[in-house]
A and B are shown apart, each in its own frame.
Chain A
Amino acid sequence: MKTQLLEADSMWLEYNGKKILQSIYIKMETGKVTGLLGRNGTGKSSLLRMIFGTLRGQNQSVRINGEYIAKPYLHAGIIRYLPQSNFMPKNLKVNHLCELYRVRFQDVTDHFPEFDKYEKHLLGKLSGGEIRLIETLLILLSPVHFVLLDEPFTHVSPLMVEKLSTVIHEQKENKGILLSDHAYQHVTDLSDDLYMIVPIGRSVLLKNPEQDIKSLGYTS
């Protein structure tokens, strides 16, 4: 399969004159997990939404294989986005959600056999952690080239985080995955390339993640 390339360039975002993002370049490609780190409030979620196409900044350029696309989410088969908080309707059944997102329920249970019993359950009947996992899996297993995961490990138990990490690792074979989470050790372990957003709104590609994370003040 031909490698697909997504570049987010010159991303510039201000709210009420306050600069959030001003000099961002991020490259994703199929076959790789790209990690995104940054302190709270540095604009990671905003950046993901700008790449997805639902948030317009003062300036932005998202190119796929070199071709500018204003709103990638409008094009079928290109990109899906997992927001930080729950977003799927609680009164739809799990198998119906799979059908809408064109994900085989079998693929979900291949990775998480414990979900087999939930096939015809309403999403709202599951626990908070299970809902989060289902949402993450539906995005991750979607038939698209790129997925953007914002805090996929939130509310997920350590055992499930390990299993989810395995799915992410498997899915990168035919997808480009952008992963942002405060569980930075998981992000660094899974990522092939790692970016950090540093004040004020600049992206830095980390050459030596362990060392750079400390020197940029993300950890002590």
Chain B
Amino acid sequence: MAAQYPALQVVLALLAAPVCLILRRPNAAWAVATVITWISLALALSLLGRVWETGVILYPMGDWAAPWGIEYQIDTVNAFMLVIVTLIGSVVMPFARASVEAEIEEERIYLFYCMYLLNLAGLLGIAITGDVFNLFVFLEISSLSSYVMISLGRDKRALTAAYRYLVIGTIGATFYIIGVGMMYMTTGSLNMADLAAILPAVADSRTVLVALGFLTVGLGLKLALFPLHLWLPNAYAYAPSAVTVFLAATGTKVAVYAFIRIFFTVFGGVEIFTAGVIPQILAVLAALAMIGASAVAIYQTDVKRLLAYSSIAQIGYMVLGISMVTVTGLAGTIVHLFNHAIMKGGLFMAMGCILFKIGAVQLDQFEGLGKRMPVTMAAFVAGGFSLIGVPLTVGFVSKWYLVQAALEKGWWLAVAAILASSLLAVIYIWRVVEVAYFRPPPKGSAEVSEAPLSMLVPLWILIGASYYFGIDATQTLDIAFAAAETLFAPPL
């Protein structure tokens, strides 16, 4: 049984999605989605444990041997990704029940859970597969389902946000398969490990370089790398809260993972980094994202949009770590994947609680919220500290390693960008804090009125986790460093 875990990891969620469709009852669909997510988490944890003890797990799908068949390859990197995705999903599900009921029409709720499960399957598939074309299929499964989920938002701008995301996302995915096609033309293989072995011999050809270009832009669109981020703010701002939490915490993270996989595993043997200008380009884009998006965040009046821009800045951190091409930098990126997932998930959950009670997340609606929703706002402030990078939070840990990596490289401008971006974070978080705590509640508002416990508990689980893993970061960092070293190791 345990040998089949890699397949079950993806297939369970995939099969459960149509079950929701048949059940139709909101509560039943919710129960199925929740149970499946929790089982997936258990599977992911057991896979991570096995990888940690015995090394890479290879799982040929349907016993078709690689490189012809599709092979799942699980090493520390993607085992960690599987845990991140399922962990966030497991916390989001209890939260989603009340939140979704409040934000989505009842007859569409089962569709939401169906789409969520497809999305989960897609993200897990991206993380687990060792085949570049299979990755494309899962990428599209997750993308198509996320377009639908975003369009379920009750603001009509959610529709246009979903439409724009669809157009941009499809272009990104198409770019990605163009790149894959070109690699296939030169190597005749789609298996990542196989590609890694063959590519160095043919790396001089222009086809391979163009392939890399298409792959970079395609995945750059998916992970919202500045300046390819335009779809993200509206998509996050107008999607239902539960969707925003899940997508913000996992969607772009998995895309970053795919990016790392392509650059370090598939092109691992090719000296694209040492020879080309790619690291510099990535570093510059990352720094622009960190500073630019943070600066734009300051001027937002919709707090969900503010957090969305902050996400773009945080993706900049991750790309910066990648662009350094050092173990420390990459470990910083990987640990930030996890850290940012839990802190941003928590912050968007706080938005969900506020939407649930107040019905809007415009900044001027936050007046006196420190008194009216003390538990939620305390969580927001605590999560905000993490975004700023106050010590004892996970944000501090990520920042520490990214700065250290930049220092090792002697990249002073990168150091400056990281620190400047943290300071901008102080400003945009503090704008919200001032309104919430220093302005009196509007007249006629209820005294204290909190979101239900089913939302507050998941919220505080994520916020608590962002402190737990900030106080004792040794476990996450051990995994991140092991993962980074795997990526730098020569291919199998």
Pair from one complex: no
Chain B residues near A (Cβ < 8 Å) = none
